[in-house]
Structure 1
């Protein structure tokens, strides 16, 4: 589908751009919007993935221990858990450390008054803080810990399951929300890509209809199929290329303006996009745009240009 005469194809495409600028502009805007949404989806998905990864990495299992637990049994159990395949580390948190952490987390909520009301008693139990190699295994490791007889003997309370706490529910809800967001974005991207494809197809059809007499004369003088197709293929590709470059420009400008503001407002989150991801996204937009223009033009000619 490479034009047999590139110079002639470019001149003819430029002439059609000038004569039918409104139709061409509509095709370019449609392609721009479609590719802009695709790029926005890809870059947004990367940022959401990073945020989910950060939340996942903060998921730990906290196993509360009885105040009456034997210290040797507690130490032996810690060594045992550290030997499990999915466990990265186990940290023992004493009652005093747990109370101090409570004070810090409740610093703005009258924690000192609450602690004073305890009259020197410390009701916060000691615990293990278990970090995992794969956060997705949190439920599996938690169930293994609950069923472990050694843990049951030192767990806080008579029910070992109530002595184990982990934040898997929060991550699952986050995954559920992001899943539906991604599915919705995919549907929107496919729909807009189809609209851009149809618009290019219609634009080329109109161009063919307006130049049927010229095409017939070219056929009579012996012009090849490739020579005749060249301007239409070039036109579709140029429209798609311009639309993709516009989408890249807007995405780049938007990221330079919006991301720093988001980072400033939500400093506890990371909105950084790796340079490799940005470059790959922009390259993919150009390729997708060219393919949309190329195949949209080719199908229009196949159905409506009888050569």
Structure 2
């Protein structure tokens, strides 16, 4: 569409929109509903990823330390741990800290449990290790087990066991089976979300394209008359493409407004239901989603109008 034709196309698009208000509103609503569902799925996938990340962040390694280990040995292994690439933080938990955590988890029977211990604390000291990439928990745990410094301080509940590997395994705890299942499930969920968003976008494109095609088909006589009087294809196409973009913009703005309502009122409700998980979606994610929806709407409006008109502009 030539620049000189832009003003004419804009005026004609507005005129067509007003004259065919019912059809135009139908197209806008179709675009709105389609983009709104796409936006919900995109933001829903962000919520799912945030919840998955919250669960994954809870995956930590507990490396238990023998009561016979010296402070120098413990410090040496601590310094080594903090230098590892995937280790985000290392917390040293004393026997008192371990007992306090244990009793807090069994608050209903805490007095009975403490009485049964008769003043003794059988719980070992430990390192609580948090990782940058929780999915690499197995590799990090295996590295800890194989470390010579850790072998010297590992807590050994059965000193008669000669198998060093068994002793080391007893000193590292991270729920291997549960963690493996967790990361397998989260990987499947992420793939499923991406596939659903892509499929929904494709279906929406077909749906919106058909709506725009019906709108243009209803004015095929107008297109034929313009061709008979010698109007060029670009001159004829301009107002229809502009009208398609106008409908897409209106549908996109309605979508952004509806998603903002969901963000301000729906997200707090979801967070209150799953308060044990952290849902943190940054503002830039919302802005990126809104910009993507506007772009998708404009592309669908342009291509839908262009494809629908192609059959009427053949020589």
- With structure 1 as the length reference, what TM-score do the two structures score? 0.83
Q: Deviations over 1:148-180 (max 9, x none)?
A: 233234322342112201256656545444444
Q: Are residues 235 and 172 of structure 1, via their aligned partners in 2, closer, same or farther at CA, if it must alter by over 3 Å?
A: farther
Instruction: State the Cα distance separating 1:279 from its structure 2 match.
Output: 1.9
What stretches of structure 1 of length at least 5 have no aligned partner?
none
Instruction: State the Cα distance separating 1:281 from its structure 2 match.
Output: 1.6
Q: Deviations over 1:80-107 (max 9, x none)?
A: 4344443344433222221122112222
Native 8 Å contact 2:216 2:305 kept in 1: no
Give the SS at the match of 2:138: helix
1:147 corresponding residue in structure 2: 146
More displaced 10-residue stretch of structure 1: 57-66 or 281-290: 57-66
Structure-to-structure mapping, 1:87-236, within 5 angstroms: 87-107=87-107, 109-157=108-156, 158=161, 159=166, 160-166=168-174, 173-236=181-244
Instruction: State the Cα distance separating 1:238 from its structure 2 match.
Output: 1.9
Q: Deviations over 1:192-246 (max 9, x none)?
A: 3333333443344334443333323322322121111122212221222222111
1-structure distance, mates of 2:210, 2:149: 73
More displaced 10-residue stretch of structure 1: 228-237 or 127-136: 127-136
Q: Are residues 98 and 201 of structure 1, via their aligned partners in 2, closer, same or farther at CA, if it must alter by over 3 Å?
A: closer
1:246 corresponding residue in structure 2: 254
Instruction: State the Cα distance separating 1:112 from its structure 2 match.
Output: 1.8
1-structure distance, mates of 2:264, 2:243: 32
What stretches of structure 2 of length at least 5 have no aligned partner?
none
Instruction: State the Cα distance separating 1:295 from its structure 2 match.
Output: 0.7
Native 8 Å contact 2:63 2:126 kept in 1: yes
Q: Are residues 238 and 39 of structure 1, via their aligned partners in 2, closer, same or farther at CA, if it must alter by over 3 Å?
A: same
2:78 corresponding residue in structure 1: 78
Instruction: State the Cα distance separating 1:304 from its structure 2 match.
Output: 4.0
Instruction: State the Cα distance separating 1:78 from its structure 2 match.
Output: 3.2
Q: Deviations over 1:238-278 (max 9, x none)?
A: 22222211111110011111122334444454434322222
Q: Are residues 128 and 207 of structure 1, via their aligned partners in 2, closer, same or farther at CA, if it must alter by over 3 Å?
A: closer
2-structure distance, mates of 1:35, 1:257: 20
What is the number of residues matched between the two proteins?
306
Equivalent position to 1:303, from 305, 308, 311: 311
More displaced 10-residue stretch of structure 1: 286-295 or 192-201: 192-201
Q: Are residues 177 and 242 of structure 1, via their aligned partners in 2, closer, same or farther at CA, if it must alter by over 3 Å?
A: farther
2-structure distance, mates of 1:126, 1:296: 66
- With structure 2 as the length reference, what TM-score do the two structures score? 0.82
2-structure distance, mates of 1:89, 1:203: 55
More displaced 10-residue stretch of structure 1: 295-304 or 124-133: 124-133
Root-mean-square deviation (CA, aligned residues, Å) is 3.0
Native 8 Å contact 1:69 1:154 kept in 2: yes
Structure-to-structure mapping, 1:37-76, within 5 angstroms: 37-70=37-70, 72-76=72-76
Native 8 Å contact 2:92 2:128 kept in 1: yes
